Amino acid sequence: MLGVAQSGTGKTAAFVLPIIQNLAQEKVDKQTVLRSLIVVPTRELAAQVAKNISHYARYLDITQGVAYGGVSAKEQATKIQKGIDILIATPGRLLELCENKSIDLKSVNTVVLDEADTMLEMGFLQDIEKIFPQISPKRQIMMFSATLSQNIKKLAKEFLNEPVVIEVSSQRSSVDIIEQQIIKVDEDKKLALLSFFIGSKNLQKVLVFTNTKANVDLIVHTLNLDGLSALGIHGDIKQPARARALRKFKTDEIRVLVATDIAARGIDIEELPYVINYDLPQSTSDYTHRIGRTGRAGNAGVAISLLCVKEYKQMEEIQKDLIINIPTTILDGFELTEKQPRTKKVVNTKLSVKKGLKDKKPRPRTAPTATKPKKSKKTTKRDANRKFGKR
pLDDT at 391 over 60: no
Q: Which residue among 304, 329, 354 closes a domain? A: 329
Q: How far apart are CA 279 and CA 68, in angstroms?
A: 28
What would the pLDDT profile of 147-157 be if each residue is shown by its tens digit?
777 778 888 88
Give the residues across from 143 on adjacent strands. Answer: 2, 113
Comparing C-alpha atoms, which of 334, 1, 331, 310 is closest to residue 139? 1
Angle at CA 65, nearest 5°, toward 62 and 69? 165
- Same domain assignment for residues 106 and 198: no
pLDDT at 372 over 60: no
Within-domain flag for 146:
yes
Q: Which residue among 169, 202, 229 closes a domain? A: 169
Mean pLDDT of 45-54: 91
CA dihedral 184, 190, 193, 198 (to 10 degrees): 100
| Domains identified in the chain, total number | 2
Mean pLDDT of 258-268: 74
pLDDT of residue 160: 87
> How does DSSP classify residue 38?
E
- Same domain assignment for residues 267 and 145: no
φ/ψ of residue 148, rounded to 5: -105, 75
- Same domain assignment for residues 176 and 165: no
Within-domain flag for 262:
yes
pLDDT of residue 56: 94
- Same domain assignment for residues 187 and 54: no
pLDDT of residue 177: 75
Within-domain flag for 192:
yes
pLDDT at 299 over 80: no
pLDDT band for position 161 (cuts 50, 70, 90) = confident
Domain that holds residue 285: 172-329
- Same domain assignment for residues 322 and 226: yes
pLDDT of residue 355: 52
Within-domain flag for 29:
yes
- Same domain assignment for residues 162 and 200: no
pLDDT band for position 285 (cuts 50, 70, 90) = confident
Q: Which residue among 169, 200, 225 closes a domain? A: 169
Mean pLDDT of 380-389: 56
Mean pLDDT of 354-363: 53
Lowest mean pLDDT, pick from 63-67, 126-130, 155-159, 317-321: 155-159
pLDDT higher at 148 or 193? 193
pLDDT at 220 over 90: yes
Comparing C-alpha atoms, which of 273, 251, 263, 301 is closest to residue 205? 273
Q: Which of 256-260, 318-322, 372-376, 382-386 has the highest mean pLDDT?
A: 256-260
pLDDT at 269 over 90: no
Within-domain flag for 336:
no
- Residue 276 sits in a domain whose CATH number is 3.40.50.300
Within-domain flag for 239:
yes
Element containing residue 139 per DSSP (H, E): none
Q: Record the pTM.
A: 0.62
- Same domain assignment for residues 324 and 205: yes
For the chain, how long is the longest CA-to-CA vector? 145
Within-domain flag for 353:
no
- Same domain assignment for residues 146 and 117: yes
- Same domain assignment for residues 34 and 75: yes
Within-domain flag for 117:
yes
Q: How distant, in Å, are the alpha carbons of 80, 169, 278, 303, 389 from that of 38?
A: 14, 23, 32, 30, 117
pLDDT at 40 over 80: yes
- Same domain assignment for residues 271 and 222: yes
pLDDT of residue 147: 74
What would the pLDDT profile of 87-127 be if each residue is shown by its tens digit?
999 999 999 999 988 898 999 999 999 988 888 877 888 89
- Same domain assignment for residues 225 and 177: yes
pLDDT band for position 171 (cuts 50, 70, 90) = low
pLDDT of residue 231: 95
pLDDT higher at 370 or 38? 38
- Same domain assignment for residues 158 and 201: no
